[in-house]
Structure 1
């Protein structure tokens, strides 16, 4: 059996490099100005990541943003994208299986691999580490890597060694770690401070302390992060530490090889009817539902043709997916025929088993997502929309159109005032006459027609959103008016006389059937 060889990959600038990639794209050089990423701490925002310019100014991880802004007034502060970083690191762990199959995420900025038996495929451990660093560099990430017999030793060397890549052979752990600081043992800051007060600044100094004395001093510290003796044993290999790497689940797909090539839609539908139950059973076993499926036909000439169907909510309904694929099957290009077909779930979501009712009947609301999916399949998702509220009190910005199947839980505010049944796409200017300044309108000319106003209600004053608009934006006074023919309008006056933000007030029509 091959001895364990653990590879630790450390990405020291992962947060700022991923932020830069998301913000500016792959070819953006480093910024000349100091930039830091901030996350919430116990006493306000703290530094989570920084660029090279900020490092040169002495800014440190974990420092309070307010303190650093005092030292560097021109410091640019951006919000850290913690959830996006977690997703990206998880994706990197899957990509890193190109070197060996046993890979898992290590904290917020690293990966761990068990490369035993795999390094010879890359020409040895040195060549493998060099390829790892080069590959991460091509992806825009600075990487340090180390390989050692234990997780603790590899972790320490990757982060605290003077060289960007280190190889520690069996039996050389104590020597390789002796000059590293005690922080390399994966202990918390309070324990590091305590050891320094005791004069134990390096791992070698800590290892030289009699074992009984060290164990007695930390006997009440049960957490590993606060127990240097246990961490030291883990790094030296005295206590085994397993690398629990979860292998990815196999893809959800169903495949049928055909005795004879098929060339017509009826045969496609028949094969689809066989594939759908197979795929639904796999999803049911994993507690998943599909949001997007792909049907692929393998042609006798070696080419493929694929069509996709998407749903607004996760589903395992074979009848529903069969309906969605009906209008797509004719787009399959079979050439001289398909000799195999495959159905694959491209996007899935958790979908626990549920019972609609004791009678087995489907509840009234269960078919709405299916109706949305069928309309979107026939008309395109851009044609099946619904209105959702937005966080704004300006009428034209208070709502927007989204795909009807989107999962949005925004609640409509409870308006105390009436709103028109129809808003115009954009307010249209009108000429309004009124008896006294700032008084109700008496007559309106709109779209070349004169409307004599017989009833009016208002004004309802709406102030501009000062946090997103220019300082010269004028307030609005809204009126619900009715003309002599019974037509109702929602109009507003932009500005008031002598407000210092422009000339005479202007009038606009914004809504009908008010």
Structure 2
């Protein structure tokens, strides 16, 4: 069974942004008479990714630039699109759709394929199954088209280009039933579709009437299924298998304590957290995993829920370490009339091999591991306050480094860049200096910086750094860097921005970039 959510992005936006209607238990319908679109910022301006029915009737279309759409529909309201959130929602929807079959797969960006082999009779037949799926999707506020066919390709073609609900039986002639569908039903690339239209092949029946050897000569060098209509036709009728990647639910490790009596005092809560940490450690150890992100949820008697989250620098499952980190997050907790349920969930896990406890005990006696030290810093200072600088592939000093989590692995290109000598201290932003006297070759002999005049006694350079032409404008000027020392022995790293007569601006400018040792 193929499910095509025709307006997935707009439907999801409506579900998440509009006020819920308690009468139906879902988001109330957004007024469809108001044009609305979801946009993405591009280098050329905002582009429309999705638009509702009123916006479509007013002339706005997906892929159109927002400025062009506003000329047709000035009252068009916009919100930013969220492709990553749409994909996550589609994965969740795929797991939910397994109520109709043993497994399901996503068909990005807005479709699902569900294997219903041997399951239709549980719903009273294929027609009743389609009706049940349509009703449940409509109840979740999703507009969808559905189709059932012996192959995934045929089901996709019917869902996207056939009637609203279609069933193709195993005894039906698939080629004859699908002959009137456009060639776009084969899920081909845009350039292949354009080529077929230029050849006069617009329907599947017309494509099936062409001699196969003629198509083989035309498309023999195209390997991917989306670029070869012969492969797609064979998948459509079941002559060539089409592998699909099923969505598998991996439940996050979870432990909880439902308390007989609500607790209000901190020592009792610390004991419950310690017990949950022990349970989580046993659960993770049995799976050979370690936690990178932990979520502690506490349900209060009055119905309020409190959450505390930890993100660890490296995979870990030491109960004592987890308790120490959570202890710092529970100081401002208000238990109110009491907490009756405490739940600990490992939202992010990674493989973690078993270790001998004797070695770990020795490590605890002689010092703290680096990962535990980083976790304690992050808990105290915040995630954004603990970062590690790493080299970045850029010769411009202000772009030559990036910040990443302290224990994240380096990419192959990081740590392998070789530069000339760099100053001990780099200024956050290059500061302009006033050159009072320069030699004929352009090297300053005296300059003023921060109100103080410096006489240059020695100079080394230049080191020329050209602009990054792939990201800069064509008028960007090159830089000549010098290491200079004044008559007081202080050393600086300065550069000249541009060369006289280069045709890219006026006179060169001088800047202070850093302080040398």
Question: How far apart in 2 are the matches of 1:416 and 1:10?
Answer: 53
Question: How far apart in 1 are the matches of 2:395 and 2:251?
Answer: 49
1:282 partner SS: helix
Deviation for aligned residue 1:26 = 6.1
- Runs of at least 5 residues in structure 1 that lack an aligned partner in the other structure: 1-6, 37-52, 54-80, 201-223, 235-240
CA contact (8 A) 2:464 2:481 kept: yes
CA contact (8 A) 1:461 1:476 kept: yes
Is 2:438 aligned against 1:440?
Answer: no
- Match of residue 155 from structure 1: 155
Question: How far apart in 2 are the matches of 1:87 and 1:263?
Answer: 37
- Match of residue 512 from structure 2: 509
Question: How far apart in 2 are the matches of 1:433 and 1:417?
Answer: 28
CA contact (8 A) 2:154 2:237 kept: no
CA contact (8 A) 1:432 1:507 kept: yes
Summarize the Cα distance change of 1:186–1:281 in structure 2 as closer, same or farther, 3 Å threshold: farther
Alignment of 1:103-502 (within 5 A): 103-105=103-105, 110-114=112-116, 116=120, 119=123, 124-125=128-129, 127-131=131-135, 134=138, 143-147=144-148, 150-151=150-151, 155=155, 158-159=158-159, 162-167=162-167, 173-174=171-172, 178-181=176-179, 196-197=209-210, 231=238, 248-346=249-347, 348-355=348-355, 367-409=369-411, 411-502=414-505
1:335 partner SS: coil
Q: Which moved more, 1:432-441 or 1:307-316?
A: 432-441
CA contact (8 A) 1:156 1:184 kept: no
CA contact (8 A) 1:283 1:316 kept: yes
- Match of residue 74 from structure 1: none
Query: What is the number of residues matched between the two proteins?
Result: 426
CA deviations 1:44-94 (Å, max 9, x no partner) are: xxxxxxxxx9xxxxxxxxxxxxxxxxxxxxxxxxxxx99999766534412
Summarize the Cα distance change of 1:180–1:453 in structure 2 as closer, same or farther, 3 Å threshold: same
CA deviations 1:298-331 (Å, max 9, x no partner) are: 2233332221221122222222211210111223
CA deviations 1:109-161 (Å, max 9, x no partner) are: 532153647758xx94454353466579x66xx7431136x456972663576
Question: How far apart in 2 are the matches of 1:177 and 1:437?
Answer: 83
Deviation for aligned residue 1:439 = 3.4
Q: Which moved more, 1:270-279 or 1:352-361?
A: 352-361
CA contact (8 A) 2:465 2:480 kept: yes
Question: How far apart in 2 are the matches of 1:386 and 1:156?
Answer: 48
Question: How far apart in 2 are the matches of 1:11 and 1:158?
Answer: 13
State the Cα RMSD in Å: 4.8
Q: Which moved more, 1:479-488 or 1:241-250?
A: 241-250
Summarize the Cα distance change of 1:466–1:437 in structure 2 as closer, same or farther, 3 Å threshold: farther
Question: How far apart in 1 are the matches of 2:437 and 2:478?
Answer: 18
1:453 partner SS: strand
CA contact (8 A) 1:185 1:231 kept: no
Question: How far apart in 2 are the matches of 1:352 and 1:477?
Answer: 50
CA contact (8 A) 2:148 2:166 kept: yes
Summarize the Cα distance change of 1:292–1:135 in structure 2 as closer, same or farther, 3 Å threshold: same
Summarize the Cα distance change of 1:193–1:374 in structure 2 as closer, same or farther, 3 Å threshold: farther
CA contact (8 A) 1:89 1:105 kept: no
CA deviations 1:452-510 (Å, max 9, x no partner) are: 11111011111122222222222111100111111110001111222222222211111
Summarize the Cα distance change of 1:403–1:386 in structure 2 as closer, same or farther, 3 Å threshold: same
1:350 partner SS: strand
- Match of residue 21 from structure 2: none
Question: How far apart in 1 are the matches of 2:240 and 2:442?
Answer: 84
CA contact (8 A) 1:153 1:173 kept: no
What is the TM-score with the length of structure 1 in the denominator? 0.68
Question: How far apart in 2 are the matches of 1:144 and 1:338?
Answer: 46
Summarize the Cα distance change of 1:321–1:458 in structure 2 as closer, same or farther, 3 Å threshold: same
CA deviations 1:339-394 (Å, max 9, x no partner) are: 22111112x13314144799565599992222111111101112212212233211
Deviation for aligned residue 1:193 = 11
CA contact (8 A) 1:129 1:146 kept: no
Q: 1:8 aligns with which of 2, 5, 11?
A: 2
What is the TM-score with the length of structure 2 in the denominator? 0.67
CA contact (8 A) 1:356 1:362 kept: no
Deviation for aligned residue 1:27 = 5.4
Summarize the Cα distance change of 1:384–1:162 in structure 2 as closer, same or farther, 3 Å threshold: closer
Q: Which moved more, 1:442-451 or 1:286-295?
A: 286-295
Summarize the Cα distance change of 1:494–1:119 in structure 2 as closer, same or farther, 3 Å threshold: same
Q: Which moved more, 1:155-164 or 1:283-292?
A: 155-164
- Match of residue 58 from structure 1: none
CA deviations 1:28-56 (Å, max 9, x no partner) are: 867968959xxxxxxxxxxxxxxxx9xxx
Summarize the Cα distance change of 1:512–1:180 in structure 2 as closer, same or farther, 3 Å threshold: same
CA contact (8 A) 1:144 1:159 kept: yes
Summarize the Cα distance change of 1:199–1:484 in structure 2 as closer, same or farther, 3 Å threshold: closer
